[in-house]
């Protein structure tokens, strides 16, 4: 069966489903012959990167002939100062996507079980499958990670548990009590990865970061990224906070120059610009409240979010609504890929973008 080349590929390759990315603005404009398209599909920061970061990157362009610092020394130093962990507690990757891959390459082999909630970020399963691991997907309960149900699925073979907190695509968090209970009951040889890509947006007092468990000596990896609130998705840079022992293991499989020079420069600058961070956070809350009000006015139910996107039930086929919104020049994400065929996921944008989205949605739902 299959061609000669196909038979040469590892069997794991055939278990992979391609990632479904948000449609790029240029692609939609080209395909539909329209302009002025807005993208509310990939949870990017609508304010863009910090202007201070842009200036620093411009300056760094002159050094493009040089290899980047393979150890990301200055960034890890900045992160160490920021968090109060030692420099060797940090992992830096070409996006947190790369860190997910490196973690999988370090820990997962054939027969190993990897647990996570469903729906959640698709890369957990993808990277586990690449390594021949077995994915154990545990359905969400009331749109939230069901930690007791995940505990029930732990076996001798369990290697990794991913907790996406806040969860993508639902925007929900696990409470402190639930997470404490989970960590208390979990065998110590199971590694927990807290994916906190949207950490900076959280306002709920009941939230607990994986960093707290790390401080208490637990074997956890906390993943954060510069792609979301820091507005650097195009440069690809994310980081992990963990024990020096785990960091050293993961670093063994890392390529020597995995993080490019501009990304390192930008990340150091981004950490220093607290004002841009605060502005981004406030804009998000304002946009969130506007969209909540508008969804209610349209009679739509949404999942209250702790992130910069909202999962909303539009009560009809999401693919059709997606196509109709595209024609209106608005790109969103459909819920069918997450198993919710009447939901869409929309990124909270700038006020004018949110207004355009709502006006378009209103027309589409009427029509």
Q: What's the gap between Cα 186 and its chain centre?
A: 24
Q: Provide, rounded to whole angstroms, the least separation between the CB of residue 165 and ligand PLP.
A: 9
Rule CB under 6 A: say whether 231 interacts with ligand PLP.
Answer: no
The piece of 61-69, 91-99, 276-284, 311-319 that touches ligand PLP (CB under 6 A) is: 91-99
Contact 85, 131 (CB under 8 A): no
When binding is defined by CB under 6 A, the residue of 85, 90, 107, 121 that contacts ligand PLP is 121
Q: How far apart are CA 271 and CA 241, in angstroms?
A: 15
Rule CB under 6 A: say whether 96 interacts with ligand PLP.
Answer: yes
When binding is defined by CB under 6 A, the residue of 50, 168, 265, 308 that contacts ligand PLP is 168
First to last CA, the chain: 48
When binding is defined by CB under 6 A, the residue of 49, 95, 231, 269 that contacts ligand PLP is 95
| Crossing angle of the two packed helices 96-107 and 244-253, in degrees rounded to 10 | 90
Q: 91: left (phi > 0), else alpha (psi -120 to 50), else beta? A: beta
When binding is defined by CB under 6 A, the residue of 179, 227, 265, 308 that contacts ligand PLP is 227
Rule CB under 6 A: say whether 164 interacts with ligand PLP.
Answer: yes
Q: Which residue is nearest to ligand PLP (CB)?
A: 95
Q: How far apart are CA 230 and CA 237, in angstroms?
A: 10
Rule CB under 6 A: say whether 195 interacts with ligand PLP.
Answer: yes
Q: Provide, rounded to whole angstroms, the least separation between the CB of residue 162 and ligand PLP.
A: 9
Q: Which of 137, 164, 159 has the alpha carbon at shortest distance from 149? A: 137
Rule CB under 6 A: say whether 97 interacts with ligand PLP.
Answer: yes
The piece of 92-100, 130-138, 274-282, 286-294 that touches ligand PLP (CB under 6 A) is: 92-100
When binding is defined by CB under 6 A, the residue of 25, 52, 233, 272 that contacts ligand PLP is 233
Q: Which of 10, 5, 12, 40 has the alpha carbon at shortest distance from 24? A: 40
Q: Provide, rounded to whole angstroms, the least separation between the CB of residue 266 and ligand PLP.
A: 13
Could you say which residues in the range 237-276 bind ligand PLP, by CB under 6 A?
Answer: 238
| Residue matched to tokens 């999942």 | 303
Contact 41, 334 (CB under 8 A): no
| Residue matched to tokens 């022992």 | 245
Q: Which of 160, 131, 189 has the alpha carbon at shortest distance from 12? A: 131
CB atoms within 10 A of CB 233: 17
When binding is defined by CB under 6 A, the residue of 75, 197, 312, 360 that contacts ligand PLP is 197
Beta carbon nearer to ligand PLP, 243 or 347: 347
What is the DSSP code (8-state) at residue 348? -
Q: How far apart are CA 208 and CA 174, in angstroms?
A: 8
Q: Which of 221, 228, 220 has the alpha carbon at shortest distance from 267? A: 228
Total residues contacting ligand PLP by CB under 6 A comes to 13
Task: Give the neighbor-by-neighbor strand order of the sheet with 309-313.
Answer: 301-303, 309-313, 343-347, 333-334
Q: Provide, rounded to whole angstroms, the least separation between the CB of residue 41 and ligand PLP.
A: 12
Build a one-symbol-per-residue string for 299-338: x at contacts with ligand PLP by CB under 6 A, - elsewhere: ----------------------------------------
Q: Provide, rounded to whole angstroms, the least separation between the CB of residue 145 and ligand PLP.
A: 12
Q: Interface with ligand PLP by CB under 6 A: which residues?
A: 43, 95-97, 121, 164, 168, 195, 197, 225, 227, 233, 238
């Amino acid at each position: 069966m299959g061609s000669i080349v196909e038979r040469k590929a590892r069997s794991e390759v055939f278990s992979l489903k391609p990632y479904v990315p948000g449609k790029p603005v240029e692609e939609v404009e080209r395909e539909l012959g329209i302009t002025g398209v807005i993208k509310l599909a990939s949870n990017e920061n609508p304010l863009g990167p910090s202007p201070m970061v842009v200036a620093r990157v411009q300056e760094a362009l002159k050094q493009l002939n040089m290899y980047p610092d393979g150890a990301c020394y200055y960034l890890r130093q900045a992160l160490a100062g920021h968090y109060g962990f030692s420099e060797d507690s940090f992992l830096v990757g070409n996006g947190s996507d790369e860190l997910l891959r490196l973690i999988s390459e370090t820990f997962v082999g054939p027969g190993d079980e990897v647990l996570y909630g469903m729906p959640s970020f698709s890369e957990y399963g993808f990277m586990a499958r690449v390594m021949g691991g077995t994915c154990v997907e545990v359905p969400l309960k009331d749109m939230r990670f069901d930690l007791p149900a995940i505990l029930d699925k732990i076996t001798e073979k369990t290697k990794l548990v991913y907790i996406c907190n806040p969860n993508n695509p639902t925007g929900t968090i696990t409470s402190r009590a639930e997470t404490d209970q989970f960590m208390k009951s979990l065998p110590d040889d199971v590694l927990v990865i807290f994916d906190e890509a949207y950490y900076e947006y959280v306002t709920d007092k009941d939230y607990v970061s994986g960093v707290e468990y790390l401080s208490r000596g637990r074997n956890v990896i906390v993943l954060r990224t510069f792609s979301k609130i820091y507005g650097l998705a195009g440069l690809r840079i994310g980081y992990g906070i963990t024990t020096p022992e785990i960091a050293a293991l993961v670093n063994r499989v890392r390529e020597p120059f995995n993080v490019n020079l501009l990304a390192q420069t930008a990340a150091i600058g981004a950490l220093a610009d607290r004002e841009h961070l605060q502005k981004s956070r406030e804009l998000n809350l304002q946009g969130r409240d506007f969209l909540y009000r508008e969804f209610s006015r349209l009679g739509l139910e949404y999942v209250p979010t702790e992130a910069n996107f909202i999962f909303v039930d539009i009560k009809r086929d999401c693919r059709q609504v997606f196509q109709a919104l595209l024609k209106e020049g608005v790109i969103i994400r459909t819920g069918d890929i997450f198993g919710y065929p009447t939901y869409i996921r929309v990124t909270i944008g700038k006020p004018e973008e949110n207004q355009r989205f709502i006006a378009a949605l209103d027309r589409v739902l009427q029509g």
